[in-house]
Chains A and B, each alone.
Chain A
Amino acid sequence: MTDGTLSISALTKTFAKGSTTVTALENVNVEIGAGEFVAVVGSSGCGKSTLLNILAGLDRQTSGQVLVGGRPVGGPGPDRAMVFQSDAAFPWLTVTENLEYGLKVQGRSAAERKRVVGELLPLLGLEQFAHSYPRELSGGMRKRIDIGRAYAVEPEILLMDEPFGALDVVTREHMQDELLRIWSARRSTVVFITHDIDEAIMLSDRIVMLSPRPGRVREIVDVPFDRPRTPELRESADFYRLRTDLRRMMGEAVR
């Protein structure tokens, strides 16, 4: 088991596109501590998903290094779980079966699976839907299955790729509050990708801002707000000020 730290150094990724190559990431360096919630923001196409896929072990870097708990990433591992942008809950499994999936892979006993799922369902607010299929649920609920399924394996690191990007604003803010609540119950390291600055501020301890073409780290910004964070934070003047600064920065990053 690893300790949940992530060390990204001189990370570069290029894709061959016909005869030309696209540099999706160039010399990215970020150190992430155990239990830290880091948001990665940037306009679309600046390499956010590419970065996360490399961290997850679903893709390999062209050069540079990623250390998870001090060890290089060789592929997907039980220490890192991923929540994808689009629905990834298996539609042929019920909510409970989805939540159990990773535990079954790990060969945990039925009793233990039952215990973990029994704890997760109320945390996710899905007790009533334990035996429903994903298609029967709303978008926000389906997203919670994804989060719960990732959480069930108790990963040291949770990787989230714009998980709320497809939700409407109200549901999205609701899900942000829910995620903070779930996360406060077990603080894993989180790398949270978003292009929504409000979301990044609301959730994270630090914001890594990427600039596009090629994807580089433009700025790393500390988020000064205390936890637990409440929905009222969104209305505060400090929040608004930070948001304005970051937006300006992001505008410059695009240019």
Chain B
Amino acid sequence: MRMRLLSLGSLLVVALVWAGLTLGGVVDKLFLPGPQDIAAVVGESWRDLLSGLGFTLTRQVAGFLIGSLLGIGLGLLMASSRTVNAVLDPLVELIRPIPPLAIIPLLILWLGIGAVPQVLLVVFGCFVIMVVSTVEAVRNVPRIYLNAARTLGAGGPRIYRTVVMPAIVPALVGSVRVAAAASFGLVVAAEFMGAQEGIGYQMILAQRYLRTDQIIVCIAVITVTAWLVDQVIRRLERRLTGWTERHVGAGDARPRTKATVAGTAAAIKENS
């Protein structure tokens, strides 16, 4: 409770300083617009903002989905076969260190300005994140589960499907969150370089006309959206990985079926 108040307090202080500086006229509104300027921008241009966000999100989601699925798929393939790994690993290692933003000029040179290079940039970023973490996640599946499945008679493909795949889900969901967060940055950056619509494009325009207030609103819009997307993924994560230690206390024995008195007593005895 006390901590809550402290956290709330620090936010409040920042807000007050902001209001004081701008309303008091200490800082030029060109550098830091006040709350009333921000509200005005939201009021007059929320339609543009929404349609811009629509464009941006479409490309981002497309790139994120394509890139992540490609990355996970290829990662699974590489982890399942030594031959495939031998062929693809050097290629992945080659492109892995490339900062995605560094390929923007190349993409524009090859494909011009438009949706395709923007989506491809996001695809590239998400792909690299997911392929590397998928291979890593498969390598980290505890050996004991693989051996247990083998002694129960399971063969390679079945072990892959029933042990490897579920075992890597928690690690993958974590990486998907990273990829989703990265894809917001990438799509906005792609729009900076060349676009005719989208939040990033609106920011570049605002910069050109020295509209600091619009820039700040755009930053806020993209941040809130990124946060919302992260929340959705976290919801999904809890659904998918309810079995992990993080979500249920270990040794927290509670019967799922209708408990009898004897059953509960046995459980208590077991726990003690």
Number of interface residues of B (CB under 8 A): 38
Most B C-beta atoms less than 10 A away, residue of A127, A150, A153, A171: A127
Other-chain contact of B152, A102, A131, A132 (Cβ < 8 Å): A102
Residue contact B151 to A129, C-beta cutoff 8 Å:
no
Residue contact A82 to B244, C-beta cutoff 8 Å:
no
A33 within 8 A of B: no
Residue contact A105 to B256, C-beta cutoff 8 Å:
no
Q: How far is the CB of A78 from chain B (nearest CB, A)?
A: 5
A72 within 8 A of B: no
Which of A62-70, A85-93, A204-212 lines the interface with chain B? A85-93
Tell me the number of A-to-B contacts counted with CB atoms below 8 Å. Answer: 111
User: Given A129-B256, A135-B244, A149-B152, are A140 and B270 neighbors across the interface (CB < 8 Å)?
Assistant: yes
Residues of chain A contacted by B259 (CB below 8 angstroms): 128
**Chain A interface size range:** 35 or more
Which of B47-55, B80-88, B142-150 lines the interface with chain A? B142-150
**Distance A205 CA – B244 CA, assembled complex (angstroms):** 40
Residues of chain B contacted by A56 (CB below 8 angstroms): 147, 151
Other-chain contact of A58, B145, B147, B166 (Cβ < 8 Å): B147
Residues of chain B contacted by A105 (CB below 8 angstroms): 152-154, 158
Residue contact A106 to B253, C-beta cutoff 8 Å:
no
Q: How far is the CB of A150 from chain B (nearest CB, A)?
A: 8
Other-chain contact of B153, A78, A93, A135, A146 (Cβ < 8 Å): A78
Residue contact A136 to B147, C-beta cutoff 8 Å:
no
Closest A-chain residue to B151, C-beta based?
A: A82
User: Given A76-B153, A88-B148, are A127 and B253 neighbors across the interface (CB < 8 Å)?
Assistant: no
User: Given A128-B257, A128-B259, are A82 and B148 neighbors across the interface (CB < 8 Å)?
Assistant: yes
Residues of chain B contacted by A90 (CB below 8 angstroms): 145, 148, 163, 166
Interfacial residues of chain B within 62-91, with CB under 8 A of chain A in the complex: none
Other-chain contact of A92, B167, B255, B257, B266 (Cβ < 8 Å): B167
A101 within 8 A of B: yes
Residue contact A153 to B255, C-beta cutoff 8 Å:
no
A141 within 8 A of B: yes
Residues of chain A contacted by B263 (CB below 8 angstroms): 127-128
A138 within 8 A of B: yes
Q: How far is the CB of B169 from chain A (nearest CB, A)?
A: 7
A118 within 8 A of B: no
Most A C-beta atoms less than 10 A away, residue of B144, B153, B264: B153
Q: How far is the CB of B151 from chain A (nearest CB, A)?
A: 4
**Distance A217 CA – B242 CA, assembled complex (angstroms):** 46
Interfacial residues of chain A within 99-144, with CB under 8 A of chain B in the complex: 101-102, 105-106, 125, 127-141
**Distance A116 CA – B152 CA, assembled complex (angstroms):** 15
User: Given A77-B153, A133-B248, are A82 and B147 neighbors across the interface (CB < 8 Å)?
Assistant: yes
Contact pattern, B 156-196, Cβ under 8 Å of A = 1, otherwise 0: 00100011001101000000000000000000000000000
Residues of A within 8 A of B (CB): 56-58, 75-78, 80-82, 84, 86-88, 90-93, 101-102, 105-106, 125, 127-141, 146, 149-150, 153, 159, 171
With A56-B147, A137-B253, A141-B253 given, name 15 new contacts (CB 8 A).
A56-B151, A76-B150, A90-B145, A91-B244, A92-B243, A101-B152, A105-B154, A106-B153, A130-B257, A131-B257, A132-B256, A135-B245, A136-B248, A136-B254, A137-B270
Could you show 12 A-B contacts with beta carbons less than 8 Å apart?
Answer: A58-B150, A82-B148, A84-B147, A87-B144, A88-B147, A90-B148, A91-B245, A105-B152, A128-B266, A129-B257, A134-B243, A159-B151
4 nearest A-B residue pairs (beta carbon): A128-B263, A128-B255, A102-B152, A92-B166
